[in-house]
Chains A and B, each alone.
Chain A
Amino acid sequence: MVEMFVDITLFVMLVATAIAIVRMRQLFGVVMMAGVFSLLSAMLLVALDAVDVAFTEAAVGAGISTVLMLSTLTLTSRIEIPATRSPLIPLLVVTVTGAAIIYGTLDMPSFGDPNAPAQVGVAAQYLAQSPEEIGIPNVVTVILAGYRSFDTLGEVAVVFTAGVGVLMLISGLRRRRRKPDNESRGKTS
């Protein structure tokens, strides 16, 4: 019951943060609120027993991504111009999508059910075998770097690709800025 209470409280704070993000015009505030959202979600993840994920979310979601967004803000603009379109169609889209997702959850197993299909499959096997086979206390580490290390290899490939993409996109930024009357820029401005 206490867990439920903590869950609901954190959730209400998350929704308040999300609504603040929707309504705020100052992009600096939006980015800060996104950091707050990440920290709150890290707290909720601790309540859900996922301490490793909470750690990563706090470091990556509230740390690195906030820094990246702030550096983007300094290179672009700081104020959002209010949209001219009516919010009716987006609201309709969101309601329909949400209703479809909620309909999909109706035949899911209950929260915390120990006999749910997710708990009895290969995960139970990992939990049972890792003390003999690998012997590292943290099972998440065991699976991440042991049983499923190819996932991490793929992740490294994705991060490398993204890094190359970012470098290609923003390399030469300063050079182009110094002489703005460039050929490629002349016709738009």
Chain B
Amino acid sequence: MFDVDFILGHLNYWLFTVLMMTGLYIVVAKGNLIKKIVGLNLFQTAVFMFYISLSKVTGGTAPIFPVDMKIDPTVVYSNPLPHVLILTAIVVGISTTSLALALVVRISEEFGTIEEDEILAITTELSHLENKELGEAMGGRG
């Protein structure tokens, strides 16, 4: 099963998987929110390239006919459908990225930091304070 042809034919997929996982690592391991978004973008771009690599046909060319529309039947064209889907996905990706960045701006405005650890510490402290207040209001020891 693992002969040279198989490896050469699947190498692309594995390489894109490595890129994808680098992006995932940034998202999981890094605490800075902007860096997390960059990691998500990396992941996304790797998925796009993986998807486009599925549309490649050996010996094919870009799916654009000659301008005079005299199509040579011997010319092989790559599959245009994944290109269309990924074009849509890129634009949707940039809109989600911009939304995420706007959220980061709001978070930084509210908490004064964009580090995940510090935000968690602040929210924990806030909820402790709130619990204490509520407990006192209910007649607890305070």
Give chain B nearest CB distance to A95 CB in angstroms: 8
Interface size on A, residues (CB 8 A): 101
Closest to A118 in B: B54
Number of contacts between A and B (CB, 8 Å)? 293
A122, A126, A127 — most chain B CB neighbours (10 Å): A127
Contact yes or no, A60 B91, CB < 8 A: yes
CB distance from A104 to the nearest CB of B (A): 9
* Complex-state Cα separation, A142 to B93, whole angstroms: 22
CB of B30 closer than 8 Å to a CB of A = yes
Q: Which of A15, A72, A112, A131 contacts B69 (CB under 8 A)?
A: A131
Q: CA–CA, A182 to B19, complex, Å?
A: 44
Q: Are A37 and B45 in contact (CB under 8 A)?
A: yes
B52-67 CB mask vs A (1 if < 8 Å, else 0) is 1111111111111111
Tell me the minimal C-beta distance from B11 to chain A in angstroms: 7
- B124 close to chain A: CB less than 8 A: no
DSSP majority for the B interface?
helix
B49 in contact with A81 (CB, 8 Å) = no
Closest to B8 in A: A4
Do the beta carbons of B21 and A114 come within 8 Å of each other? no
Instruction: Report which of A76, A85, A102, A148 forms a contact with B84, defined as CB distance below 8 A.
Output: A148
Determine the distance from Cα of A184 to Cα of B109 in the docked complex, in whole angstroms.
11
Question: Is B76 in contact with chain A by the CB < 8 A criterion?
Answer: yes
Does B135 interact with chain A (Cβ within 8 Å)? no
Q: Which of B22-36 contact A (CB under 8 A)?
A: 22-26, 28-32, 34-35
Candidates B29, B35, B102, B112; contact of A166 at CB < 8 Å = B102
Check if A53 is an interface residue, CB within 8 A of chain B: yes
**CB-CB < 8 A to A144: which residues of B?**
84, 87-88
**Set A8, A15, A177: member contacting B19, Cβ < 8 A:** A15
Which residues of chain B have C-beta atoms less than 8 A from A45's C-beta?
48-49, 52
In the complex, the 3 A-B pairs of residues with the closest C-beta atoms, listed nearest first: A110-B9, A162-B95, A112-B58
Offer 30 A-B interface pairs, CB within 8 angstroms, sorted by A.
A7-B12, A31-B38, A41-B48, A49-B63, A50-B78, A51-B62, A53-B86, A56-B90, A69-B38, A71-B101, A80-B115, A83-B117, A91-B29, A93-B28, A98-B21, A111-B56, A112-B60, A118-B82, A135-B69, A137-B65, A137-B66, A138-B64, A158-B92, A158-B95, A162-B99, A163-B95, A169-B106, A173-B105, A177-B109, A188-B112
- Sample of 7 further A-B pairs with CB below 8 A, known A22-B25, A138-B65, A165-B102: A8-B15, A21-B39, A56-B87, A108-B10, A111-B9, A137-B69, A162-B99
